[in-house]
Structure 1
Amino acid sequence: MKITRKLTLAIALTVLGASSASAQTYKKGDKLVNAGLGIGGGFGIPIGVSYEHGFTDRISGGGYLGYAGKNESFGDSGKWKYTYVLAAARVSYHFRIKDEKFDPYLGAILGYNIASVKWQGEEAAPASASAGEVIFGGHLGARYWLAEKIGIFGELGYGVGLLNLGVAFKL
């Protein structure tokens, strides 16, 4: 976890150091969608989708929905099925830099997660459990626009995966 914090701090300082008033890839009124896959988190390959609306030339807000699942088989007797769902509101601060295709941002999420484990098999079901809680977290990310309305993104921080990579769209 210490490496993640150091990496996040290093990226944040780089982005902050590169900030300047110049060409703008993000602006007020933009409608942005990210769809991606995650790495890390322990629940298989997570998928996530986020939507953000540009409230100002620097601030966007919207929602995030993520899902991750994993099965652990025990031969003919059955398997455990693990699921994790996260629904959250998110807000991001967009930095201005000289590259008009690059959109770095830093943000926070507030939401609710549900984790569950269930037994599926012919044998009698051992104890199954589920839990949910309110969560708060942060993210550091960037989009790189390949064309006017399509790009790629990467986010480091709280979500269903520690690192999320995927496709970005401007609606």
Structure 2
Amino acid sequence: MKKVIVLLFLLSFGIIQSQQAFKGKGDIKVNVGANIQDGGSGIQGSVDFGLAENFSYGFVASYLLGVNDYGANQYSNKKPEFKDRFDAKFRINANIGNVFNIDEKLDIYPGLSLGLKNFGGHVGGRYLFTEGFGVFTELGFPIAKYNDDNDLFDHLNNQFTFSLGASFNL
């Protein structure tokens, strides 16, 4: 009886673990996590829609919850407003996890984004533990800023960012 139970457990575990990180057309992935960068940290959410075997488009939004204090200087009484903390972007991804053929549960995706503050790029990865849940990480960077005003808080959404969180398959 023990052998039958162990065999059933292994079979069910194998079926549960037979997910694929990116399936292509019709695939929908939602990421929610922390956004970490110089000068502050916050939350990030994104959604990606599969268009083809290795191509997707989506949207990403981030909001900085904590912004570092600027100390006792001419800006000590200024705090960033909502427009300084929030950013939204349209993005495209090349989902190339299956090209590297490392693990079908791993998706690697470089891409480009067009946002409210800049034109940029990103490199990310997601690993699915089950059919509907996994983790993701992304590195984002600006390629071209829209203005050169260099206001006090312009750097908040125009710099290298690191994101880490949960990924959901819908």
> Where on the TM-score scale, by shorter chain, does this alignment land: which range?
0.5 to 0.7
After superposition, the C-alpha distances for 1:102-157 in whole angstroms (9 at most, x for unaligned) are 111110100103xxxxxxxxxxxxxxxxxxxxx11111110010111110000012
5+ residue gaps, structure 2, are 1-18, 143-156
Q: Which one of the candidate residues 141, 144, 153 is aligned to 2:124?
A: 141
Q: Which one of the candidate residues 151, 162, 165 is aligned to 2:134?
A: 151
- 1:124-139 map, 5 Å: 135-139=118-122
| 1:46 corresponds to | 42
User: TM-score scaled to structure 2, two decimals?
Assistant: 0.66
Q: Distance in 2 between matches of 1:101 and 1:74?
A: 46
Larger Rg: 2
Q: Distance in 2 between matches of 1:59 and 1:74?
A: 45
Q: Distance in 1 between matches of 2:20 and 2:169?
A: 14
1:57 has 2:53 as partner: yes
Would the aligned equivalents of 1:72 and 1:79 in 2 still touch at CA under 8 Å? Answer: no
| 2:87 corresponds to | 86
**Which is richer in strand?**
1
Runs of 4+ deviating beyond 6 Å: none
Q: Distance in 2 between matches of 1:99 and 1:48?
A: 26
1:41 Cα deviation (Å)?
3.2
1:103 has 2:104 as partner: no
Root-mean-square deviation (CA, aligned residues, Å) is 2.3
Q: Distance in 2 between matches of 1:80 and 1:150?
A: 40
| 1:168 corresponds to | 167
1:72 Cα deviation (Å)?
3.5
**Which is richer in helix?**
2
Would the aligned equivalents of 2:35 and 2:62 in 1 still touch at CA under 8 Å? Answer: no
Structure 2 counterpart of 1:163, one-letter code: F
Q: Distance in 2 between matches of 1:167 and 1:24?
A: 16
Structure 2 counterpart of 1:81, one-letter code: K
Would the aligned equivalents of 2:127 and 2:136 in 1 still touch at CA under 8 Å? Answer: yes
The percent identity for this pair of structures is: 37
Which SS does the other structure have where 1:53 is aligned?
Answer: strand
Would the aligned equivalents of 1:38 and 1:46 in 2 still touch at CA under 8 Å? Answer: yes
1:46 Cα deviation (Å)?
1.9
5+ residue gaps, structure 1, are 1-22, 114-134
